[in-house]
Amino acid sequence: MMLQKCQWPMKKTIEIKKDEKGFGTLYVNDEPFLILGGELHNSSSSNLQYMEKQVWPRLKELNLNTVLLPVAWENIEKEEGVYDFSLLEELIFQARREKMKLILLWFGLWKNGESTYVPGWVKRDSGRFFRARYKGGELSQTISPLCKNAVKADARAFTVFMKKLKDIDAESQTVLMVQVENEIGFLKSDRDYSKEAEKQFRSNIPEELEKIYGISGTWSEVFQSDAAEMFMAWNYAQAVEYIAAAGKRAYELPMYVNAWLNQFPDRPGNYPSGGPIARNKKIWRNIAKSIDVFAPDIYLSDFEGVCKEYATEGNPLFIPEARRDPVTASNAFYAFGKYGAIGFSPFGIEGLMEDTRQKQDKELLEQLQIDVLAFTSIETGKYLKETYKILKNMQKLYFRFKGTENIHAFMCRNEHERGTIVSLSGCDLELTYRPKGNERPGCAGMIIEENESEFWAVGYNTDIRLLPKKSSHDCITIICLEEGFFDNGKWSSGRVLNGDERSMSGFGQYAEVRHYIYCKETTDE
């Protein structure tokens, strides 16, 4: 007879823990999890057949482990108080079958500044669910964040949704996180000019803000030229807090909000006013306390600048949406290597194997002064799948050193930069960036030092040379340089690169891994 081992059922948890550096890591049952993600186009997950035919097969070869997809309020509560979760349940089944984790995007009251995903009964009743107005009183498509009825209705639906999620998924843990709303804020205006908003904007700032900022007065007195945006940030952050807190009481999953960043020209309304952009972080962090992560959607070319802005003061870096051109494949290494990101996820992932250069509405994007490339896939998937494959297989090594001085990252910021020096404990690395066009990933990568005579390097379009440390005259000698790959954490070496192959052993347009062993001889006088 088999003896059954008596075990306590393990408590299942999904949480983000922070280290001393402030870097966050997502833990699933105390195991670190690296989100190698991709976000679907907005409408893909509204139909199961479409998912079967057009989406899942295309995701297979990309080496993702997580898919970000929307759950629309209009779909789960078509009639007030009547809920239907059949689509959600099927999506979760499909994901499990595909061995994929999910991050669900709650498209509730606000999606890209507007209220296009609210149910018809909310849209039709603009008395009960009043809209934000532009200056002069013109109506918008955005339900005002000052509308308490609307916030309560959203919170109620969100709570029922989270409860359902707990019922069907707490055991399997297919869903890792939930995004609350999408790129929140008010578009085409610096603030809401509805009657209610006008009244509040003229009054003194709320007590809570007085405490946070240590100053009192009207919005304009306190925040001057930023008053309109701060006013919106306060109202949106409060609404989000109400909704997220209610949802968390039903099911305690990590939650985040994502930001449409302030791009040129930097005026609120040109991007959604009041969203969680860096400038508004004080309000957002103090008010929306149930939110675990404030996350940037990075379409701007200054990838490094944005990462830096967000990975501060204990805010873990998570990039739920990223550019679609090949540079995204190299940016991922940088986000994980330099800022210990918990995850990375290009937008429109099911289309990343295509070349969409001709399909872009170039004129429109140019008119809006938006970088066309940011929305263009030039078969980006064929590069991204290499990045993800490498990261997936070397994550054990990565997590072993995450948050320590042993991890370094490099990235070429513009075409004038020729290279950089990365300082290791035993030597310096001279990294020279290779010229490359828009069709390729950027020059970027990551170095992990195993000890003072051994390191791993991964990256794209960069040459590596070992130098003595600045002002020293040490003689640095390579003992062994191998190409190869990690297979589920275990190094499997390929050719030993020596002779001709050693002098031209840099990284090319597809990501590669190298293992270096070297020694240092001190030149004593």
Which of these ranges, 56-64, 84-92, 366-374, 403-411, lies near ligand N0T under the rule CB under 6 A? 366-374
What is the per-residue DSSP string for 152-211? Answer: HHHHHHHHHHHHHHHHHHTTT--EEEEEEEES-SB-SSSS--SHHHHHHHHSBPPHHHHH
Q: Rule CB under 6 A: choose which of 77, 169, 183, 386 binds ligand N0T.
A: 183
Q: Rule CB under 6 A: choose which of 297, 325, 350, 386 binds ligand N0T.
A: 297
Name the strand (E) or helix (H) holding 345: strand 343-346
Query: Which is nearer to ligand N0T, 24 or 275 (by Cβ)?
Result: 275
377 binds ligand N0T (CB under 6 A): no
66 binds ligand N0T (CB under 6 A): no
Query: Which is nearer to ligand N0T, 373 or 458 (by Cβ)?
Result: 373
182 binds ligand N0T (CB under 6 A): yes
Whether the bond between 265 and the residue before it is cis, its omega within 30 degrees of 0, is: yes
430 binds ligand N0T (CB under 6 A): no
Asked whether the beta carbons of 168 and 127 are under 8 A apart, the reply is no
Query: Which is nearer to ligand N0T, 16 or 300 (by Cβ)?
Result: 300
Minimal distance, residue 258 CB to ligand N0T, in Å: 7
Range 108-127, binding ligand N0T (CB under 6 A)? 112
Asked whether the beta carbons of 280 and 271 are under 8 A apart, the reply is no
356 binds ligand N0T (CB under 6 A): no
Name the phi and psi angles at 110, rounded to 5.
Answer: -135, 130
Which of these ranges, 292-300, 435-443, 483-491, 502-510, lies near ligand N0T under the rule CB under 6 A? 292-300
Which of these ranges, 151-159, 169-177, 287-295, 370-378, lies near ligand N0T under the rule CB under 6 A? 370-378
Tokens matching residue 439: 């069709």
Name the phi and psi angles at 224, rounded to 5.
Answer: 50, -125
Measure the CA–CA gap between 394 and 270, rounded to whole angstroms.
41
Q: Rule CB under 6 A: choose which of 23, 25, 42, 45 binds ligand N0T.
A: 42
Asked whether the beta carbons of 516 and 457 are under 8 A apart, the reply is yes
Q: Rule CB under 6 A: choose which of 28, 245, 300, 353 binds ligand N0T.
A: 300
Which of these ranges, 4-12, 190-198, 240-248, 368-376, lies near ligand N0T under the rule CB under 6 A? 368-376
299 binds ligand N0T (CB under 6 A): yes
What is the per-residue DSSP string for 194-260? Answer: SHHHHHHHHSBPPHHHHHHHT--SBHHHHHGGGHHHHHHHHHHHHHHHHHHHHHHHH----EEEEEE
The 10 Å CB-count burial string (b at 16+, else e) for 249-259 is: ebbebbbbbbb
Q: How many C-beta atoms lie closer than 10 Å to residue 290's C-beta?
A: 18
194 binds ligand N0T (CB under 6 A): no
372 binds ligand N0T (CB under 6 A): no
Query: Which is nearer to ligand N0T, 274 or 340 (by Cβ)?
Result: 274
347 binds ligand N0T (CB under 6 A): yes
Strands 31-33 and 24-28 come out as antiparallel
Q: Rule CB under 6 A: choose which of 204, 263, 270, 406 binds ligand N0T.
A: 263
For Cα atoms 421, 422, 426, give the angle at the middle one, nearest 5 degrees. Answer: 115
Minimal distance, residue 502 CB to ligand N0T, in Å: 41
Measure the CA–CA gap between 134 and 252, rounded to whole angstroms.
37
Minimal distance, residue 267 CB to ligand N0T, in Å: 13
370 binds ligand N0T (CB under 6 A): yes
179 binds ligand N0T (CB under 6 A): no
Query: Which is nearer to ligand N0T, 107 or 398 (by Cβ)?
Result: 107
Q: How many C-beta atoms lie closer than 10 Å to residue 438's C-beta?
A: 11
Minimal distance, residue 493 CB to ligand N0T, in Å: 42
Closest CA to 130 of 191, 193, 74, 180: 193
Positions that interact with ligand N0T (CB under 6 A) = 42, 112, 182-183, 260, 263, 297, 299-300, 321, 347, 370-371, 374
